A and B are shown apart, each in its own frame.
Chain A
């Protein structure tokens, strides 16, 4: 490729300099399948949230033939993300993490450099939040637990949820409605405030 590199090229449109490109920060939104992660991202994103599906093979990437491609050797990791412009040089990305905890490698990539995380909990299936809580505790990534208020779910006091999830006293537990922008905004503000409080320690 070296010979290619030396060939002339042109810049027909003025591209921003590298240092003038926006930079990004990430907040992760985790939780069990159906907890409302996609809804939450969509409630505050200024773009229609993107949905990506990574198809994986058991042997990892790099397959070059179709022999042996069958149901059990492949699986799909779905990931949703949205974006909020903080200012002209800073964008916030919200990533809904893959719902299944066997995709830890994907979580690792998402968590790298992330600002913080929101664990979205559904009180009807509180146990589905355990893997996310464990993961962020182990990784030392600041997080809050936001209890999504589903219409048909019993409302539990935050302290009950805290006890059920065996959370450290310092971890905020909030109630939210993932469908409503203002509610999600409050959760995000509280999460970043929690990060600042954590950093100050």
Chain B
């Protein structure tokens, strides 16, 4: 009996089950608790190296919070964090929301977040930058 062989829709197999279920268990089914945007290209930087010593008893604490802090010693985009840690963006947003609540990160949303469109000045800067490549 052929089971969707060759169909990219149905490549769901056992080894994928762990990583999928675990991320959502990690955030205990929480979706975004705050109004934070965390656009895919918002930049995140850690303000602390670790949660150790000041958030030891924090209930929601997961190893991935620490992994995000380690990754974001340099500014990283939300999409980069998700890709680097192999976590769904939705889960990363919950974790980032936690860290922002703790003031363990700073976040800068993309230029167009407020208006929906980049300004003319930014568009010209992008054009100049591309021409100079």
Contacts and interface: CB of A to CB of B under 8 A. Distances in A.
B122 interface: yes
- Give the secondary structure class of A's interface: mixed
B1 interface: no
Contact of A64 (B9, B24, B47, B108): B24
Contact of A12 (B39, B49, B116): B49
A144 to B, nearest CB: 13
Interface residues of A, number: 67
14 contacts: A10-B54, A16-B75, A21-B106, A23-B108, A24-B111, A50-B80, A54-B88, A55-B16, A61-B88, A69-B17, A83-B77, A87-B125, A112-B116, A189-B131
B68 interface: no
B96 interface: no
Given A16-B106, A25-B126, A192-B127, A84 B79 contact: no
Interface stretch (A73-81, A122-130, A157-165, A169-177): A73-81
A66 B77 contact: no
Interface of A: 1, 4-5, 7-13, 15-19, 21-26, 44, 50-52, 54-55, 61-66, 69-72, 74-76, 79, 81, 83-87, 90-93, 95, 109-110, 112-115, 181, 185, 188-189, 192-193, 195-196, 199
Interface of B: 3-4, 8-12, 16-17, 20-21, 24-25, 28-29, 31, 39-43, 45-49, 54-55, 58, 60, 73, 75, 77, 79-80, 82-84, 88-91, 98, 101-104, 106-113, 116-118, 120, 122-131, 133
Contact of B120 (A1, A17, A72, A199): A199
Contacts of B29: 62-64
B129 to A, nearest CB: 3
Contacts of B83: 50-52, 81
Contacts of B125: 86-87, 90
Please list the 7 inter-chain residue pairs (A to B) with the smallest Cβ-Cβ separation, ordered nearest first: A113-B112, A86-B129, A24-B41, A50-B83, A21-B108, A52-B83, A15-B47
A26 B110 CA distance: 9
Given A11-B48, A76-B11, A24 B4 contact: no
Contacts of A23: 43, 108-111
B12 to A, nearest CB: 5
A63 to B, nearest CB: 6
Nearest to B57: A4
